[in-house]
Chains A and B, each alone.
Chain A
Amino acid sequence: MFGYYLELALRSLKRSPGLTVLMVLAIGFGVAASMTTYAVFRGVSGDPIPWKSSRLFVPRIDMWGPSDSGHVGEPPDALDYTDAMALMRDHRAKLQSAIYLIAPSVIPSGAGRSPIPVDGYAVYGEFFPMLDVPFLYGSGWSADDDAHQAAVAVIGDKLNQQVFGGGNSVGKTIDIEGKDYRVIGVLADWNPQPIFYDVLDTGGYGGGDGPGVFVPFQRAVAVNMSNSGVNLCRVEPTESGFVGLQHSNCIWIAYMAELDGAGAVQSYRQYLDDYAREQRTAGRFSWSPNNRLFDVPAYLEHEHVVPSDTKVSLLVALGLLIVCLVNTVGLLLAKFLRRSGEIGVRRALGASRRAIYAQFLTEAGMIGAGGGVLGLLLTGLGVLGVGVVLPARLAHLARIDPSLLMLTVLVAVVATLLAGIYPTFRASRVQPAWQLKTN
């Protein structure tokens, strides 16, 4: 029977090619516009580490107090050195790391090669297992290396290519800011977006190939490798230089902790509050604890990482899809009711209402499929077009993948079927006797 309906649908669609083309175009464009903006939205608002984001936490401690003019009751956006080090020392989470942005020059060996500027991070060894950072060769460093300020480094694959020509470079020596480091690991491709572990410096998105180098935090501090990211001060440091920054309560350190289970989260909150109370007793803070502990999704939301533009344009695109649906309802209604005579004959010859439903929904489905195929092509064009008009850091996140393609066709077909329900209902209500009489 389905084959027969398909044939009927095809014949009907061919009979009014103009209307058919209109419907397919409307569905195709509507779906493509929605899917293109959805691709951008999905790219920028995606969970950067979906398997673990609910167990990774960002602590915030209010070390500036309520007199700060810029914040209304919210603790500052990062940690100062004192608090970050206290948290590291107490080591209350399963895994944790203080993090700061560095921008050293790497000097390749061999005459006549110019220095390479790299972006990277000073972190603790637990950073790598905590964020499931993938390694091509070797691994991160140990707690022992952290404690001894070992001159070890983890390098990105691109830097590995540039300096060593690729391959397993574990054990080789690399010159960072004029000092020798032993390469202990080479990263596989790793550049999660949004950059959840350093929103303050990056705003959440960075093009390029991700961080090029990691060195132990305490080592970087010891060799005066200064913070190349944001630092915010409420009171200016009293001493100059990087050391002055460390002794100030300026904020410049990102922090991440892994906490497994609600109990661990609860006790960590308790720990943060206890810490703040201790600081109050010690006279450093003169206010009651005002701390936050965000998991990664909540943190990204809190920092407004997803540009609100993307949300608004997704809304506009959804509006377009709805208008396209309303449009399809109208056109299908026109199309189906035009065939009242045909319906009357079929009903008079014994077709049930169900049969009429099946026939017309098949036809709607076919239009949907046609719209879906057109939508696929247009979505492809749309995503390419987005690459031209949007900045690379956002555009490269909008990707076409099988799930997007399937979703496009699915949305087109389901939407058209939904749009077909009312016209089909009307068609099935056609009175056979009345139709036979007037025709």
Chain B
Amino acid sequence: MTLHPILAALRKHKAGVVLISLQIALTLAIVCNAIFIIQKRIDMVHRPTGLNEDNLFLVTQQWVGAPDGDDPAGLEKLDSMQQADLATLRNLPDVASVSPIRSLPLLRSGSVGGIGMKPLQQKSTVDANFFFGDEHMLSTLGLKLVAGRDFTAADVQHKGFRDESGPVLTIITKPIADKLFPRGDAVGKVIYFDSGSTPTTIVGVVARLQSPIDSGDSGLAWNSVMFPIRQDANFARYVLRAKPGRLVQAMNAVTPALYAANPMRVLDDRSVRSFADIRARAYRADVGMAILMSVICLILLAVTAAGIVGLTSFWVGQRRRQIGVRRALGARKVDILHYFQLENLLIAGIGAVIGILLAVGLNLWLITRFEMDRMPVIYVAVGVLAVLALGQAAVFVPARRASNVPPVVATHAA
């Protein structure tokens, strides 16, 4: 079949052709950018934190009438209260291990500081998230040690919450080790925290540990350090690993056990949270936006398909007589079907070409305006195939109706 008759016919319907191809172009531009954004969101949400997240949960509680920990006696009192809690939790039948902790990945609160290579270095070489816990921290969190050793009980100190004196030992994540010691010999080296003068020795390197506060992908996201320090304050956090399959039972046992050990404390319904809950909460806005945008894309595709069905139906109705003439002159049903399919392919093709330009333009604009990334070509390619397929699917019903026009229509009076 030659294109010539199709082109000649299209020239008679300029407005309709322009409208459909414009619609397809806009649909393509919007949908492939939206899917790109959605895909980035999904990738982000599925990044591992570095923790073994199953069976992990967090307890946050506040003591009432506790000393403020700014004087040594108060500090010792706070620490003994914390130790008592740790012992209580460790004795629970469904709990596998426990560590005090200040924060967890995705928790949205935590402390950050700078690391320097020299004492009293004013401008930090790299910034990092600080994690504080005891010798059970690594094993409870399920972190993967790639070099050096874990903390031991002898390493663990305890300090006031606001005691800013430099730590003695640290375990760092691989991204920091790679940045500070590119030759891979970080273990045993000395670094300095927060422009301080206390040397801190690196005893180990873990593969991965995500930031508590930065759920994005900035420099801070994977830069974490751990200290063998139990921090004492009027509130405490504990991270617990339940025995396999006993998460719910372990979580339910915590509040009564802690109250039984010491009733002067505050635990509310959000004090005991599974890590799955922390993760879901941290990414809820991202997942929600992805769903919202997917729904909009689906509506968009449906509307465009509906538009194609509507206009093609109109054209079929308008051309009934011409179709009849063609049929009477010997065209088969399949020829008529192909005619409309080819016509749609042509229009959708024009739309797709404009749409590619619009899609790239929109992406470039989003990059400047919203710090978006450059969209890989594959999204546009898939988008083009999708709109062409959508066009073919939408045109099928009216095209088949056209192919069913009987030749006798040719003889009807106009």
Which residues of A line the B interface, CB within 8 A?
A: 18-19, 22-23, 25-26, 29-30, 33, 36-37, 40, 67, 69-70, 105, 107, 114-117, 178, 224, 226, 233, 235-237, 240-245, 307-313, 316-317, 319-320, 322-324, 326-327, 329-331, 333-335, 338, 385-386, 389-391, 394-395, 422, 426, 438-439
A379 to B271, CA, bound (A): 36
Q: Are A312 and B37 in contact (CB under 8 A)?
A: yes
A390 to B307, CA, bound (A): 31
Q: Does B23 contact A (CB under 8 A)?
A: yes
A13 to B379, CA, bound (A): 40
Q: Are B310 and A22 in contact (CB under 8 A)?
A: yes
State which of B141-149, B203-211, B293-301 sits at the interface with chain A.
B293-301
Please give, as numbers and ranges, the residues of chain B lying within 8 Å of A319 by CB-CB distance: 26, 29-30, 300
Q: Are A69 and B370 in contact (CB under 8 A)?
A: no
Please give, as numbers and ranges, the residues of chain A lying within 8 Å of B318 by CB-CB distance: 338
Please give, as numbers and ranges, the residues of chain A lying within 8 Å of B33 by CB-CB distance: 316
Q: Are B296 and A33 in contact (CB under 8 A)?
A: yes
**Per DSSP, are chain B's interface residues mostly helix, strand or loop, or mixed?**
helix
Given that A30-B303, A311-B370, A391-B288 are contacting pairs, would A241 and B16 also be in contact in the complex, using a CB cutoff of 8 Å?
A: no
A308 to B366, CA, bound (A): 11
Q: Does B342 contact A (CB under 8 A)?
A: no
Please give, as numbers and ranges, the residues of chain B lying within 8 Å of A329 by CB-CB distance: 19
A46 to B276, CA, bound (A): 32
A interface footprint on B161-199 (CB within 8 Å = 1, 0 otherwise): 011100000000000000000000000000000111000
Q: Are B164 and A105 in contact (CB under 8 A)?
A: no
A22 to B304, CA, bound (A): 11
5 other A-B residue contacts (CB within 8 Å) besides A316-B293, A390-B285, A439-B414: A22-B307, A105-B266, A241-B69, A242-B68, A333-B15
Please give, as numbers and ranges, the residues of chain B lying within 8 Å of A241 by CB-CB distance: 68-70, 160, 162
Q: Are B310 and A331 in contact (CB under 8 A)?
A: yes
Q: Are B64 and A320 in contact (CB under 8 A)?
A: no
A334 to B62, CA, bound (A): 69
Given that A37-B292, A69-B123, A426-B15 are contacting pairs, would A26 and B68 also be in contact in the complex, using a CB cutoff of 8 Å?
A: no
A178's contact among B19, B65, B124, B293, by CB below 8 Å, is which? B65
Q: Which chain A residue has the least Cβ–Cβ distance from B265?
A: A115
Q: Are A326 and B162 in contact (CB under 8 A)?
A: no
B23's contact among A37, A233, A327, by CB below 8 Å, is which? A327
A338 to B163, CA, bound (A): 82
Interface residues of B in 1-29 (CB under 8 A from A): 15-16, 19-20, 22-23, 26-27, 29
Q: Does B390 contact A (CB under 8 A)?
A: no
Please give, as numbers and ranges, the residues of chain B lying within 8 Å of A67 by CB-CB distance: 122-123
A26 to B371, CA, bound (A): 32
B129 CB, min distance to chain A CBs, angstroms: 14
Q: Does B277 contact A (CB under 8 A)?
A: no
B11 CB, min distance to chain A CBs, angstroms: 16
A327 to B371, CA, bound (A): 31
B162's contact among A29, A116, A242, A331, by CB below 8 Å, is which? A242
A385 to B366, CA, bound (A): 27
